[in-house]
Amino acid sequence: MKILKTLLTIVVLPVVICVLAVVIFKSVMVPVNFDHERGLREKVAIQRLKDIRSLEAAYKSVNGKFTASIDSLIDFYRTGKMSIIMQIGSSDDSAAVANTQLLKKKNKKITPEQMYELYLQGEKNLVFSISQEIFVKDTLFRSRENFVVDSLRYIPFSGSEKVQFDAVVKRVSGVNVPLFEAKMPFELLLKGMDKQLIINLKADRKAQDRYAGLMVGSVSSPNNNAGNWE
């Protein structure tokens, strides 16, 4: 009997301790791994929402309002045009400023377009600005080699679930204010992750009266198109 107890102490107890250690380790690592994976997913989602905000702002600059249609937004990117102000020369260049003033004095009706023609012909000693229409796709996201506009439809890591869009024109202090919002709820952005931790996260956001997910803009009240992560 004594030998059996000794064997239990030598063999079984260390095994039990190891099992308990593994269980404790796993229970500690579950929320750690959850937070790590959540951070990675949110980074991708935030960039997508920023891209949506940039494209919505460009759309509004042309159309005077935002759109709740992702199809319209994508079509605007592919085929739409927008005006940009191009600055030629620097106002700190006194010689260029003097030369421009002399040119305007000689020809009081000269237009920025005519000055631009002179600039293209080789007259670089000028200072002026000119509005030009360019294709949206030739200015937005040009530096992003892997940018795919169709991806703006979808919540990343969700299995092709779509971003939730809305856009309205709301009367604020007697003024019509165009508003938009784009949302990615946690249950879709974090799909496939620990369900209980997602429930806990959503409950925590609800207790703080905050949206349970990531969003940019708001149709409830003007917020300068801010993201709720900012």
**CA gyration radius, the chain:** 29
pTM for this one?
0.77
pLDDT of residue 230: 92
Residue 83 bridge partners (DSSP)? 133
- The answer to whether 42 and 189 have CB atoms below 8 angstroms apart is yes
Residue 145 has pLDDT above 90, yes or no: no
pLDDT of residue 10: 65
Q: Per-residue pLDDT averaged across 51-59, rounded?
A: 96
Residue 49 has pLDDT above 70, yes or no: yes
Residue partners of 221: CB distance under 8 A and separation at least 6: 172
- Structure confidence at residue 5 as a pLDDT band (50, 70, 90): low
Place of tokens 């319209």: 72
Residue 124 has pLDDT above 80, yes or no: yes
Residue 192 has pLDDT above 80, yes or no: yes
Tokens of 82: 């927008």
Give dist(CA 36, CA 51) in Å, integer: 23
213: left (phi over 0), alpha (psi -120 to 50) or beta: left
Residue 189 has pLDDT above 90, yes or no: yes
- The answer to whether 145 and 175 have CB atoms below 8 angstroms apart is no
Within a 13 Å sphere around the CA of 26, how many CA atoms are in the beta-carbon half? Answer: 6
pLDDT of residue 173: 85
Residue 22 has pLDDT above 70, yes or no: no
pLDDT of residue 67: 97
The number of beta carbons lying within 10 Å of the beta carbon of residue 173 is: 6
Q: Per-residue pLDDT averaged across 2-24, rounded?
A: 60
